[in-house]
């Protein structure tokens, strides 16, 4: 039955190709991104995807002093799939990849106190992000972050 094996192998290859095609690369996030205002500057650096993950870090300075930092890792497949964030070196919190498309990703963790949602969208040399979740009054609070490629 070599014919059946050939058909099975071709079918598996087609499924793998369609699975990869269904979820675009996230290399659009790679680079050094700068933002901030009113004496506050924020930098995010993302390495290109390798080994199924993107590695990132951020730091926030207020009037030149370190206010906060964060280690980040986006895993694209398997049990660890999602964004792992470690603000100020805390243990990782996982935000699942809820939706993704060409140049954008939405991540969610409704069990986290705040935020519940993190979203990134790339537009040329601009990267727009926001975090959202319940505010102190229980109503939805959304905090935007506008970045540009550093040095542009």
Residue 34 has pLDDT above 50, yes or no: yes
Q: Give the confidence band of 151 by pLDDT, cuts at 50, 70, 90.
A: confident
Region for residue 29 given its phi and psi (left: phi exceeds 0; alpha: psi -120 to 50; beta: otherwise): alpha
- Based on C-alpha coordinates, what's the Rg of the chain? 19
Residue 15 has pLDDT above 90, yes or no: no
**Average pLDDT of the chain?**
88
Q: Cβ–Cβ contacts within 10 Å for residue 47, how many?
A: 15
Tokens of 113: 């106190």
CA 118 to chain centre: 8
pTM here is 0.83
Between the alpha carbon of residue 130 and those of residues 71, 107, 108, 112, the distances in Å are: 17, 11, 12, 16
């Amino acid at each position: 039955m070599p014919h059946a094996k050939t058909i099975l192998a071709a079918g598996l290859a087609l499924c793998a190709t369609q699975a990869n095609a269904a979820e675009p690369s996230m290399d659009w996030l790679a680079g050094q991104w700068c933002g901030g205002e009113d004496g506050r500057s924020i930098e995010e650096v993302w390495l290109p995807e390798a080994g199924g993950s993107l590695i990132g870090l951020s730091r926030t300075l207020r009037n030149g002093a370190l206010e906060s930092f964060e280690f980040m890792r986006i895993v694209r497949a398997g049990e660890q799939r999602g964004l792992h964030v470690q603000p100020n070196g805390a243990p990782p919190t996982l935000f699942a990849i809820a939706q993704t498309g060409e140049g954008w990703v939405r991540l969610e963790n409704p069990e986290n106190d705040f935020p519940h949602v993190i979203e990134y969208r790339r537009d040329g040399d601009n990267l727009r992000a926001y975090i959202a979740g319940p505010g102190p009054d229980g109503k939805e609070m959304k905090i935007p972050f506008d970045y540009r490629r550093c040095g542009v």
